[in-house]
């Protein structure tokens, strides 16, 4: 039958655990099994019982006892530990006792023994767990134990009746055999049956007594001879003499100090005891106690005190300074120096303790940084990407390495001083060595303490550990890695500059060394960026990622193709793909992500890296490598050893003076900029030349200016005439296919027999205003606002002409088209024939209104084409020839386009003037509409280029043109007509249109004149508003003021 499992005994275990858990819950939570807390109480008890049951089962299943082999290893480990700690007697005693125990247990097979051999390992393990660490009493007992083992006492002789009888009786007892009680037997009486067993019992008892194992069983029963004992005594004596020379053990070597000697100026050893006595006399009641305490003081030589201080400065155990409350303090059990008072010794040790504290904190920080593996941090960040954990950066690692280097220099200095002391004590020193505690303090404070204190302040800028708090749990600030790097570098540079200004040369030199080593990682990242350039952003995981601490970062636009983005082909990739890293809060100066000495060089470095990556994408990396010599890259340490360039020296400096003598933010920033700018300029110039010569920058720029700025007059005039004709005929002028077909036909027609101006398929015209707005073209010029033109600029020119730039060009194109539309409408208004002389008063008003509109529109169009577009385009082309990088081209073009937009009154600041001009253009459209209603169909009087016949012109047409009154006729000659004049034109045939042919009554005539008069008043107000606005712009201090001055001067003739 299978035995029952221990798991089946749960009911019995629960019955024992339940009362205990109830008591536990009541004591911890205060709840009991009352009605109010019964439910919560039972839940808590059940939780405790389940956990204790699970723990008990796990312990029962996993509590496999140890065996003797495990105990052998543990005992052997304790023996080796004792020997390493120079406790030979303890290790030998432990090894001997364990060997004797195993031997004794191996020969014992009694089943009634309390400790069985099978349970011996468990008992030994329990004893080891309960044992305290060895102390002085343990060492003393070990010595005695070994002595008993080596020199066992002689064996005890067997007890015989002879010995018993010859033994003297105890006091008050007498061996009186003659006197006996009546009930007693005589001495020679026969023995009874019970006494017959006495000899056997006695022998067995003696045997049992003899067989009892003694606590110490000697290996040999032979006593050591006299020579061996004498040798062991000599060895022990030598050991004791050596131990007496260990001054760090209290009482081992006491300096012979006579505390009762009077003070002697020539004997410094009398100073300390004299101070003791003087203080004792001051406090009479405690004099005896104080003198008694001074007599028990522990005195050591000053040379030993200096060695102990050197140990403390190196972070090792010593007897003078204790590590308490996160700093070194003078030990309460420290020995005294006879030539120093307690207060002076405490003062010196406290000062040295502060220095040792700073060094230990720096040592712990360096160990913390160097122990944090970058790979471990990356794995942790991968497992928990939503948790922002500060990562140890390469700059922090370099800073920790520099700290470790300076600490090693300090440790070497301490070791050298100790070596000098040891050599002087051994008599092998070539020079005399003066050892003094005060001299040691002065040397440490002057040479090392100030640099270490400054470095500790820098460490406090990047950690959360307060200087006065514990440093056991170091942690970095919860800010981005770039912010920590910048804060570290700026703090170091600021500290260097501050100590240089204070003429603290030793401290400044140490800080410069640390700063130079700390900058190297960022300097190396800059070299890699300039050499390899930006990533192409085609796929993820191609090694294009930049370090988190670098001041340049890649945005989401750097991931294309499989990353669901356009990557390098995105028009915004150049400006937004890689940018200077932004801080967590731009308003806080401590959140900067660009080092102060990289501030001026960061922009060129960013542009050069992007240019390098773009050239690699264009397949021109070979030519770039040949022309840009990055192989001569120097380390930052070599850079700082560069002599100051001529002309950059400060007063009193020569051209060969080392740059480190004047290291500051401005000097270093200039030095870094001068070092990096030639590489950046060379890379940018190569890319600029490639864009102009191989990418056709000027060709596409000419196409954009010819279309959007209507500088290609032949094609654009023909195109706009066709569009305007559709508008006049109420046809679908805004249809997508109609717009693009008309433009394509016009380009093809004007390219016959000549080089094609552009590829029409690259220009796409569309209308986004809707059907209702399209039909309102006869009432408002604003219907053209929905027209949009998009030019498919090829890569990489999309970086110069992104969609937002083409949108601004399209706004300028629409504005020019609106002005030309109003001008064309006014030019089509003509009156011919003899009937006009019957309505001379109406004609005067009509032509007055038409002339004023035409004057303003022509003045505005002339200003925009001549003084704005032509002038700015010429200036831009001149500046473009000097551009040395793509960034400079983009900046020049952006500035050029901004000037065009501002001078065309299309910016938000001039929106009111723009709306006023559109209102004037709407008046022109409405005026044309009113005239059509007044005069009839005006299509017969179209003088656009489409209405001009290029064939044979008859005399009839020539005579008809003689009766035309057009805009070219002066306004003054029109107003000089006399209504009573009877003059008439000769040789005039019947006109194609006559005012007399209209069926207009007198009431309708008056209504038309009143509306024209209202338009005139509104026009007058709008033009004056525009003139005042332009005069305000002309009176400003901006660059556009002279340009607007031309328009303001022109508009002054409005009221003349």
- Whether residue 475 contacts residue 464, with contact meaning beta carbons closer than 8 Å, is answered with yes
In the predicted model, is pLDDT for residue 3 greater than 60? no
- Among 671, 835, 814, 672, smallest CA distance to 739 is for 814
The least confident of 94-103, 189-198, 455-464, 476-485 is: 189-198
- Among 303, 297, 304, smallest CA distance to 335 is for 297
Mean pLDDT of the chain: 76
The least confident of 161-165, 182-186, 259-263 is: 182-186
User: How does pLDDT run across 254-286, given as a tens digit for each residue?
Assistant: 566 666 677 666 666 677 677 767 766 665 544
User: How does pLDDT run across 285-301, given as a tens digit for each residue?
Assistant: 444 444 445 555 677 88
Q: Specify which residues 787 forms β-bridges with.
A: 767
Residues 6+ apart with CB under 8 A from 243: 249, 252
What pLDDT score was predicted for residue 945?
46
Stretch 860-867: mean pLDDT: 94
User: How does pLDDT run across 65-87, given as a tens digit for each residue?
Assistant: 678 888 888 898 999 888 888 88
pLDDT band per the 50, 70, 90 thresholds, residue 688: very high
What pLDDT score was predicted for residue 910?
92
User: How does pLDDT run across 999-1055, given as a tens digit for each residue?
Assistant: 344 445 556 677 878 888 888 999 999 999 999 999 888 888 999 999 999 999 887
Structure tokens, 504: 């603290």
User: How does pLDDT run across 630-657, given as a tens digit for each residue?
Assistant: 667 888 888 887 665 544 454 444 443 4
Stretch 735-763: mean pLDDT: 86
What pLDDT score was predicted for residue 254?
52
- Classify residue 247 by its DSSP letter: T
In the predicted model, is pLDDT for residue 618 greater than 70? yes
pLDDT band per the 50, 70, 90 thresholds, residue 179: very low
What pLDDT score was predicted for residue 312?
92
In the predicted model, is pLDDT for residue 893 greater than 90? yes
Stretch 704-711: mean pLDDT: 92
Rounded CA gap, 698 and 700, in Å?
A: 6
The least confident of 322-326, 352-356, 692-696 is: 322-326
Return the higher-pLDDT residue of 2 and 303: 303
In the predicted model, is pLDDT for residue 166 greater than 50? yes
Helices (H), 968-1040: 971-975, 1002-1034
In the predicted model, is pLDDT for residue 990 greater than 50? no
Neighbours of 112 (CB within 10 A): 4
**Angle, vertex CA 136, rays to CA 131 and CA 137, nearest 5:** 65
- Classify residue 945 by its DSSP letter: T
What pLDDT score was predicted for residue 151?
83
What pLDDT score was predicted for residue 203?
39
Return the top range by mean pLDDT from 28-42, 421-435, 884-898: 884-898
pLDDT band per the 50, 70, 90 thresholds, residue 764: very high
In the predicted model, is pLDDT for residue 193 greater than 50? no
Q: Specify which residues 330 forms β-bridges with.
A: 321
What pLDDT score was predicted for residue 638?
87
- Among 645, 697, 669, smallest CA distance to 893 is for 697
The least confident of 146-155, 313-322, 1036-1045 is: 146-155
Stretch 883-910: mean pLDDT: 93
Coil, strand or helix at 793: coil
- Whether residue 49 contacts residue 18, with contact meaning beta carbons closer than 8 Å, is answered with yes
What pLDDT score was predicted for residue 957?
45
What pLDDT score was predicted for residue 169?
55
Give the torsion sign (CA, 169, 174, 179, 182): negative
What pLDDT score was predicted for residue 627?
54
What pLDDT score was predicted for residue 388?
46
Stretch 763-775: mean pLDDT: 85
- Among 800, 891, 795, smallest CA distance to 567 is for 795
In the structure, how many helices (H) and strands (E) does the chain have?
Answer: 37, 6
What pLDDT score was predicted for residue 178?
45
pLDDT band per the 50, 70, 90 thresholds, residue 875: very high
Residues 6+ apart with CB under 8 A from 481: 390, 391, 393, 547, 548, 549
In the predicted model, is pLDDT for residue 845 greater than 60? yes
Q: Can you give the length of the chain in residues?
A: 1056
In percent, the amount of the chain with pLDDT more than 70 equals: 69
Give the torsion sign (CA, 997, 1000, 1005, 1009): negative
Return the top range by mean pLDDT from 246-255, 338-347, 703-712: 703-712
In the predicted model, is pLDDT for residue 943 greater than 50? no
User: How does pLDDT run across 808-833, given as a tens digit for each residue?
Assistant: 999 999 999 999 999 998 888 765 55
What pLDDT score was predicted for residue 926?
86
What pLDDT score was predicted for residue 131?
83
In the predicted model, is pLDDT for residue 130 greater than 80? no
Stretch 782-787: mean pLDDT: 89
User: How does pLDDT run across 205-231, given as a tens digit for each residue?
Assistant: 334 434 444 444 444 444 455 666 666
What pLDDT score was predicted for residue 372?
75
Token look-up 């296919």 returns: 737
Neighbours of 51 (CB within 10 A): 12
In the predicted model, is pLDDT for residue 543 greater than 60? no
Rounded CA gap, 781 and 924, in Å?
A: 9
pLDDT band per the 50, 70, 90 thresholds, residue 4: very low
What pLDDT score was predicted for residue 846?
76
Return the higher-pLDDT residue of 17 and 165: 17
- Entry pTM: 0.65
What pLDDT score was predicted for residue 71?
87
What pLDDT score was predicted for residue 434?
82
Neighbours of 626 (CB within 10 A): 9
What pLDDT score was predicted for residue 812?
94
What pLDDT score was predicted for residue 226?
63
Backbone angles phi, psi at 739, to 5 degrees: -60, -50
In the predicted model, is pLDDT for residue 961 greater than 50? no
What pLDDT score was predicted for residue 689?
92
What pLDDT score was predicted for residue 250?
64
Distances (CA, A) of 965 to 538, 834, 939: 67, 12, 16
Rounded CA gap, 515 and 637, in Å?
A: 10
């Amino acid at each position: 039958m299978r035995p029952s499992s221990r798991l089946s005994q749960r009911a019995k275990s629960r019955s024992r655990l339940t009362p205990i858990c109830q008591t536990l819950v009541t004591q911890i939570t205060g709840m009991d099994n009352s009605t109010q807390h019964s439910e919560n109480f039972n839940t808590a008890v059940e939780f405790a019982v389940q956990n204790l049951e699970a723990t008990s089962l796990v312990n029962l299943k996993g509590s496999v006892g140890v065996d003797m082999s495990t105990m052998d290893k543990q005992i052997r480990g304790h023996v080796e530990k004792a020997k390493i700690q120079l406790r030979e007697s303890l290790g030998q005693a432990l090894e001997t006792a364990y060997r004797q125990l195993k031997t004794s247990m191996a020969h014992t097979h009694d089943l009634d023994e309390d400790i069985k051999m099978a349970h011996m390992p468990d008992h030994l393990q329990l004893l080891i767990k309960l044992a305290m660490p060895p102390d002085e009493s343990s060492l003393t007992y070990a010595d005695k134990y070994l002595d008993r083992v080596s020199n066992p006492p002689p064996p005890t002789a067997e007890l015989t009746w002879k010995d018993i009888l010859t033994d003297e009786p105890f006091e008050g007892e007498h061996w009186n055999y003659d006197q006996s009680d009546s009930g007693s037997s005589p001495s020679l009486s026969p023995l009874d049956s019970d006494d017959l067993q006495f000899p056997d019992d006695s022998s067995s008892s003696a045997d049992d007594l003899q067989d009892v194992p003694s606590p110490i069983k000697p290996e040999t029963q032979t006593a050591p001879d006299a020579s061996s004992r004498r040798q062991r005594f000599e060895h022990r004596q030598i050991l004791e003499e050596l131990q007496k020379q260990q001054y760090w053990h209290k009482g081992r070597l006491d300096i012979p100090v006579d505390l009762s000697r009077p003070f002697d100026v020539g004997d410094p050893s009398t100073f300390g005891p004299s101070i003791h006595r003087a203080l004792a006399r001051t406090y009479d009641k405690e004099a005896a106690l104080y003198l008694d305490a001074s007599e028990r003081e522990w005195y050591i030589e000053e040379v030993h005190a200096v060695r102990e201080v050197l140990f403390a400065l190196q972070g090792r155990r010593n007897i003078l300074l204790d590590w308490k409350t996160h700093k070194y303090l003078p030990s309460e059990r420290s020995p005294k120096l006879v030539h120093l008072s307690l207060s002076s010794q405490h003062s010196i040790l406290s000062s040295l303790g502060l220095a040792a504290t700073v060094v230990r904190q720096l040592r712990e920080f360096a160990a913390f940084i160097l122990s944090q593996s970058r790979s471990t941090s990356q794995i942790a960040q991968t497992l928990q990407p939503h948790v922002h954990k500060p990562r140890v950066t390469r700059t922090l690692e370099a800073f920790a390495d520099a700290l470790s280097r300076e600490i090693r220099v300090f440790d070497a200095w301490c070791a050298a001083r100790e070596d000098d002391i040891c050599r002087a004590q051994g008599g092998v020193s070539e020079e005399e060595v003066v050892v003094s505690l005060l001299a040691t303090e002065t040397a440490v404070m002057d040479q090392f303490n100030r640099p270490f204190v400054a470095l500790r302040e820098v460490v406090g800028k990047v950690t959360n550990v307060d200087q006065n708090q514990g440093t056991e749990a170091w942690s970095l600030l919860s800010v981005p890695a770039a912010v920590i790097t910048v804060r570290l570098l700026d703090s170091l540079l600021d500290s260097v500059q501050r100590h240089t200004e204070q003429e603290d040369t030793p401290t400044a030199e140490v800080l410069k060394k640390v700063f130079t080593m700390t900058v190297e990682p960022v300097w190396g990242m800059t070299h890699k960026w300039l050499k390899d350039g930006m990533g192409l952003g085609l796929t993820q995981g191609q090694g294009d990622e930049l370090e988190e601490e670098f001041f340049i970062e890649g945005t989401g636009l750097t991931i294309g193709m499989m990353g669901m983005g356009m990557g390098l082909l995105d028009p915004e990739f150049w400006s937004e793909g890689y940018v200077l890293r932004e801080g967590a809060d731009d308003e806080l100066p401590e959140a900067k992500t660009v080092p102060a000495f990289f501030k001026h060089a960061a922009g060129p470095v960013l542009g050069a890296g992007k240019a390098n990556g773009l050239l690699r994408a264009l397949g021109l990396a070979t030519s770039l490598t040949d022309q840009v010599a990055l192989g001569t890259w120097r380390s930052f340490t070599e850079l700082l050893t560069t002599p100051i360039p001529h002309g950059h020296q400060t007063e009193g400096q020569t051209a060969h003076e080392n740059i480190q003598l004047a290291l500051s933010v401005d000097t270093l920033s200039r030095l870094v900029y001068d070092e990096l700018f030639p590489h950046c300029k060379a890379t940018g110039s190569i890319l600029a030349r490639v864009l102009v010569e191989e990418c056709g920058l000027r060709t596409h720029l000419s196409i954009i200016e010819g279309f959007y700025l209507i500088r290609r007059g032949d094609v654009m005039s023909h195109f706009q005439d066709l569009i305007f004709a559709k508008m006049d005929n109420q046809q679908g002028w805004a249809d997508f296919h109609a717009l693009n077909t008309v433009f394509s036909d016009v380009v093809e027609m004007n390219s016959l027999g000549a080089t094609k101006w552009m590829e029409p398929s690259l220009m796409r015209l569309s209308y986004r205003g809707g059907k209702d707005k399209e039909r309102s073209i006869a009432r408002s010029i604003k219907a053209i606002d929905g027209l949009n033109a998009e030019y498919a600029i090829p890569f990489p020119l999309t970086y110069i002409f992104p969609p937002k730039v083409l949108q601004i060009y399209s706004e300028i194109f629409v504005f020019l088209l609106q002005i030309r539309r109003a001008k064309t409408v006014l030019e089509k208004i003509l009156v011919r024939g003899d009937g006009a002389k019957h309505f001379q008063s109406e004609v005067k008003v009509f032509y007055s209104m038409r002339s004023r509109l035409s004057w303003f529109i022509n003045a505005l169009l002339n200003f925009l084409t001549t003084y704005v577009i032509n002038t700015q385009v010429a200036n831009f082309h001149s500046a473009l020839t000097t551009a040395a990088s793509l960034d400079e081209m983009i900046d020049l073009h952006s500035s050029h386009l901004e000037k065009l937009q501002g001078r065309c009154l299309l910016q938000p600041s001039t929106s009111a003037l723009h709306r006023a001009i559109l209102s004037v253009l709407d008046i022109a459209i409405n005026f044309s509409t009113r005239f059509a209603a007044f005069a009839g169909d005006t299509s017969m009087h179209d003088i656009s280029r489409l209405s001009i016949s290029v064939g044979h012109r008859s005399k009839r047409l020539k005579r008809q043109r003689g009766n035309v009154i057009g805009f070219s006729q002066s306004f003054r000659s029109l107003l000089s007509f006399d209504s009573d004049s009877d003059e008439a034109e000769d040789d005039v045939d019947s006109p194609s249109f006559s005012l007399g042919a209209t069926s207009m009554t007198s009431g309708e005539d008056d209504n038309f004149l009143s509306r024209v008069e209202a338009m005139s008043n509104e026009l007058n107000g709008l033009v004056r508003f525009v003139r005042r606005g332009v005069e305000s712009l002309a009176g400003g201090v901006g660059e556009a003021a002279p340009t607007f001055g031309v328009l303001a001067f022109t508009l002054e003739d409005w009221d003349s």
